[in-house]
Amino acid sequence: MTRPKPNGIQRHAARGWARWLVSGASMLFAAGAIAAQSGWSPEKYVEVVVGTAAGSGSDATARIIQRLMQEKRWVETSSTVVNKPGGGGAIALAYLNQHPGSGHHLLVTSPTLLTNHIVGKTSVSFKDLTPLAQIGTEYVMISVREDSPLKSGKGLIAKLREDSGSLSFGLANSLGNHNHIAIAKLAKAAGGDMKRLKIAVFDSSGKAVAALLGGHVDVVASPGSSVHKHRDGGKIRILGVAAEKRLTGKLADVPTWSEQGAKVVSANWRSVVGPKGMSAAQRQFWDDVFSKLVATDEWQKQNASRQTENTYLNSAHTQRLMEEEYEDLTAVLRSLASPSSADELPGPQRRCYHDSSGDIEHSEIA
């Protein structure tokens, strides 16, 4: 192990050396304790894989995981974050499963792991992987401009019931994901026609919010981290959150849809999976690591800054979550399909296209 400088206190070398001995012993004990509990520990380089580019939400999650497991010495070997963007996550999944049975390769993912398989964008399902942990939940916020005629969630529900095609919705970054499903569930709960929804898909939630502020879409579905500053600045009104109960922190005043007459829950949960064929000892090792990670102050501060609920499920419960969510999401996506092609599980029939400025250029039947 490389000897660190003794807390940066150069003029007290002897005192610093004593502190290093104590902290170093503690870190080795932490890693050794985890390994002893599971009977397995990494013996080589650990890769935390991300299916999106650097700077994305999943990338930020992967980097704090990698940093904390190194700093806390939960993993004694070296580790790095590996970005494998493209193909709606297919490239990252293919890379992960090039290492069957490996406990040294992890992938940070989201519900798109499930929805992409349901709609046929990828051939790899969660059943072809090893679920390891669910480590945080970003519930979908539905927002409008402050000057919008829609003053409340109930107003939006009434509008969707009256004419589901009268409003345009912006979201990132693919049809069939948690943002899209939140809108579809709301339209269904309102008694509207989900197939008449106008959906504009953007590369990021930031671009979708910019289109909302520019008047190019009427409503946006996004995580709270994309809208809370605009809400604080008086530019955006958040109509509701697709959660079972109100959130904590800065967005605790946002009502749920259940409070407004529509039972709608949809979230982007951050999960970690490994390749297929991981052993029970490997799963136990990562159970121990992630249970420690979510309890740290650093992790909780990161979640608070992104308006993410600090939820945690171990590998067994994450497996169960994915099984339940896959069934639920399949039902929702089938309801979005046209009657003549219900088995194909497409997204909504109407799709909007936009230029780089966020202007919607045209819409067409998909």
Mean pLDDT, to the nearest integer, of 295-322?
92
Contacts by 243-252 with C-beta closer than 8 Å and gap 24+? 243/139, 243/267, 243/309, 247/139, 247/307, 247/309, 248/309, 249/304, 249/307, 250/307, 251/141, 251/224, 251/307
Taking residues 317-345, report their average pLDDT: 74
* pLDDT score recorded for residue 356: 37
Task: Give the residue-averaged pLDDT of 98-118.
Answer: 94
Residues in CB range of 333: below 8 A, 6 or more apart:
115, 118, 119, 176, 181, 345, 347
pLDDT of residue 39: 87
Mean of all residue pLDDT scores within the chain: 83
pLDDT at 35: 54
CATH class of the domain comprising 10-137+268-327: alpha beta
- Model pLDDT, residue 36: 53
pLDDT tens readout for residues 172-229: 877 888 999 999 999 999 999 888 899 998 877 888 999 999 999 999 999 998 899 9
pLDDT reported for residue 363: 36
Start-end ranges of CATH 3.40.190.150 in the chain?
Answer: 10-137+268-327
- Does 158 have pLDDT greater than 80? yes
Question: 233: pLDDT confidence band, cut at 50, 70 and 90?
Answer: very high
Q: Where in the chain is the domain with CATH 3.40.190.10?
A: 138-267+343-365
Quick one: pLDDT at residue 27? 41
In this prediction, residues 164-177 reach a mean pLDDT of 89
pLDDT of 118 strictly over 60: yes
Instruction: Say yes or no to pLDDT of 6 above 80.
Output: no
CATH superfamily of 138-267+343-365: Periplasmic binding protein-like II (3.40.190.10)
The pLDDT of residue 137 is 92
pLDDT for 33: 54
Supply the pLDDT for residue 242.
96
pTM tops 0.85: no
Lowest mean pLDDT among 45-59, 159-173, 215-229, 287-301: 45-59
Average pLDDT over residues 20-36: 44
